[in-house]
Amino acid sequence: MKAISMVGFSKSGKTTACEAAISELTKRGYKVGSVKNIHKENFSLDDPTSNTGRHRAAGAYQTIARCPDDTAILLPHTLTPRELIRQFDCDYLILEGVRDVLCPVIQFAKTAEDLPAVPDPRTVAYAGVLANTGLTELNGMPVLNPLKDAGAFADFIEQHAFAPLPDVEPECCGKCGSDCPGFCADVISGKRDRDECAQYDQSITLRVGGKQLHLVPFVERILRNTLIGIVKELEGYEEGGEVTITFGGGR
């Protein structure tokens, strides 16, 4: 699953760009997911006086609001970047206002003066109201106009989006010689390739509910050594042979 995030001030064109990207990528046959980050202080998705709000106030750890056309899962906390990513099984994930997922960023602004003095090292392009000024390049990167050419915007996303980095602690991995934010910046700048991440170099494949879980080297070593320590005592075990273990849904 590849991801890209649209970030910038309110009313700078992020939502319009997300709509264009989602629509165009969907037309191309991709399965697309999206996340909208809401920065408003003390904002809640649920009205505390509603029935679901009363359920939550009574102590429900999770509440589901279900109606004929859609379903909302309400949790009493925000999700970490890793938890957020695990909710999706799609080709492309379009993020709006999300800065803590390690993926490419398109910076939105009304004017060049609104842009950060120090660019985010994950920035791959600029867009938004800024593009209506006729500007086509800034700081050596393209200025995109999804309203004018949604196709070109989707093309750019296809070329530059990549799977989010796992964002693990350096002491748990560091196999690439860097931390995840640094590696992400190196991929953006072209110094490294996304496939060099250690999560793609695993000798163990672990799937839960059909979804593959990526293991940091530290956990992979523990799991591998523990399993081999058990199965090597069994008749028929061959050193270096493939080992397959499947757990069913029973308890």
Within-domain flag for 220: no
- Tens-place pLDDT, residues 6-51: 999 999 999 999 999 999 999 999 999 999 999 888 888 899 999 9
The pLDDT, as a whole number, for residue 163 is: 92
How does residue 173 score in pLDDT terms, banded at 50, 70 and 90? confident
Within-domain flag for 42: yes
Within-domain flag for 249: no
Within-domain flag for 114: yes
**Which range of residues forms the domain containing residue 129?**
2-160
Mean pLDDT, rounded, for 201-221? 70
Within-domain flag for 251: no
Within-domain flag for 56: yes
The number of domains in the chain is 1
Within-domain flag for 97: yes
pTM confidence score: 0.80
Within-domain flag for 200: no
How does residue 201 score in pLDDT terms, banded at 50, 70 and 90? low
CB 10 within 8 Å of CB 69: no
The pLDDT, as a whole number, for residue 208 is: 76
- Tens-place pLDDT, residues 39-79: 888 888 899 999 999 999 999 999 999 999 999 999 999 99
Give the CATH number for residue 144: 3.40.50.300
The pLDDT, as a whole number, for residue 251 is: 56
**What's the rounded Cα separation, in Å, for the pair 135 and 142?**
9
